[in-house]
């Protein structure tokens, strides 16, 4: 590598090369092992790696491996769903990470069938890779046999009774805010998308209205780690250092996300809710692979100057927040995100907190990537990425 080319620029070049050839790969594991980096292509992905028409390319592949470290229930395998723009581009890839108990569905589409953020970002020229956390049953990193024999792990799944008020749809299920942006008339589609996910005791247990079962864990009645703050006002997952959100960032999840960035980065890292735990951790571990950070109502936004400075090697930071934060009991989480943005802004003036209500945009929810103005929010983020 020429001494005149920075490591980040070099990695960016190799990432663009990877993006141009990914559609033509059936398996791109470097070591030939079947449990790492396997590639799946779609019918629209010609084997030559060239588009047959002007339509985008869609597909999925896997990162990470099945070697366990601290857990025998969740290993390092994670599915990645991707889309490539119809035309070759030199724009930064965008890696999207969903929150706890959510899947790539939240970025791919909306309950009422409109376009999702994957499509909006791809139309703007960004290759998009959506990370499916290993703890999700539909991702690939869950050892079901180990789960059955575990005394400390069980399966959890969101319930609409809990999600409705926590995510800002309305004060209670079936009673939406008058200006709510979420397509609540189609909320059954969102509920159907909720994956079961592994809860391993140290935080991260979702709540199912009547409890949920799995392994020997039996009923899981803990408060969703992705949801709310304690009555004392300290957010679950708040932090003054590297992230109370880090308790949602298992070694297996961060390793898999790091493996993804190693394949496609440097990239813009877009994290949602408890996905901030793994995202912020990886941004510190491989800062050269993170060009910018977009945090949508994150858990664990760091408020320690050194931690913020280490994320992405002083990468620009954008926090994004919707409405009814006080009613949702997430005020201090938003305040932590504002602090992160302020600290990042000391090095990068473009760092900011986009508070939609402060912009005169009301009714946005925790799942703003599916709200009825999701395209407008996507445009604002895309414009910021290009600054």
Domain boundaries, given as residue ranges, for the chain: 7-142+236-385
The pLDDT of residue 314 is 83
Q: For residue 145, what is the enclosing H or E element?
A: helix 144-148
User: Which residues does the chain have with pLDDT short of 50?
Assistant: 1-51, 68-69, 202-245
The pLDDT of residue 64 is 85
pLDDT per position as a tens digit, 217-251: 332 333 344 443 332 333 333 333 334 445 567 78
The pLDDT of residue 197 is 87
Residue 114 to residue 184: CA distance in whole angstroms: 14
Residue 195 to residue 3: CA distance in whole angstroms: 47
pLDDT per position as a tens digit, 134-144: 888 888 777 77
State the virtual CA torsion across 17, 287, 121, 88 in degrees, nearest 10.
Answer: -10
Query: Using alpha carbons only, what angle is made at residue 29 by residues 28 and 34, rounded to the nearest 5 degrees?
Result: 120
CATH class of 7-142+236-385: alpha beta
The pLDDT of residue 40 is 41
Tokens encoding 373 = 């103005």
The pLDDT of residue 246 is 52
> Tokens 């292509």 map to which residue?
41
Residue 96 to residue 366: CA distance in whole angstroms: 15
The pLDDT of residue 53 is 59
- Tell me the Cα Rg of the chain: 20
Tokens encoding 358 = 């402060």
The pLDDT of residue 201 is 57
């Amino acid at each position: 590598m020429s001494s005149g080319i920075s490591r980040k620029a070099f990695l960016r070049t190799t990432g663009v090369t990877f993006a141009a050839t990914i559609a033509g790969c059936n398996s791109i594991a470097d070591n030939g092992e079947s449990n790492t980096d396997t590639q799946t292509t779609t019918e629209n992905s010609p084997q030559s790696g060239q588009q047959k028409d002007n339509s985008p390319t869609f597909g999925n592949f896997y990162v990470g491996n099945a070697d366990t470290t601290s857990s025998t229930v969740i290993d390092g395998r994670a599915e990645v769903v991707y889309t490539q723009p119809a035309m070759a581009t030199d724009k930064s890839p965008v890696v999207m990470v969903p929150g706890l108990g959510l899947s790539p569905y939240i970025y791919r589409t909306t309950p009422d069938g409109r376009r999702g953020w994957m499509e909006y970002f791809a139309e703007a020229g960004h290759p998009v890779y959506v990370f499916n956390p290993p703890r999700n049953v539909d991702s690939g990193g869950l050892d079901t046999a180990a789960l059955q024999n575990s005394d400390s792990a069980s399966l959890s799944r969101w319930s609409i009774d809990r999600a409705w008020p926590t995510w800002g749809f309305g004060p209670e299920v079936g009673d939406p805010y008058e200006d709510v942006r979420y397509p609540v008339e189609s909320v059954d589609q969102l509920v159907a998308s909720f994956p079961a996910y592994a809860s391993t005791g140290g935080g991260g247990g979702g709540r199912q209205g009547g409890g949920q079962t799995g392994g020997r864990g039996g009923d899981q009645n803990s408060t969703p780690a992705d949801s709310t703050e304690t009555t004392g006002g300290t957010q679950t997952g708040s932090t003054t250092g590297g992230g109370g959100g880090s308790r949602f960032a298992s070694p297996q999840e961060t390793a898999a996300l790091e493996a993804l960035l190693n394949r496609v980065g440097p990239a813009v890292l877009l994290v949602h809710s408890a996905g901030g735990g793994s995202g912020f951790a990886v941004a510190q571990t491989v800062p050269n692979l993170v060009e910018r950070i977009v945090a949508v109502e994150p858990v664990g936004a760091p408020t320690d100057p050194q931690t913020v400075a280490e994320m992405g090697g002083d990468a620009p930071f954008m926090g994004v927040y919707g409405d009814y934060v006080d009613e949702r009991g997430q005020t201090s989480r938003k305040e932590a995100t504002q602090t992160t943005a302020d600290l990042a802004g000391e090095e990068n003036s473009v760092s900011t907190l986009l508070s939609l209500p402060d912009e005169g945009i009301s009714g946005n929810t925790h799942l703003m990537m599916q709200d009825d103005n999701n395209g407008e929010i996507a445009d604002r983020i895309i414009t910021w990425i290009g600054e």
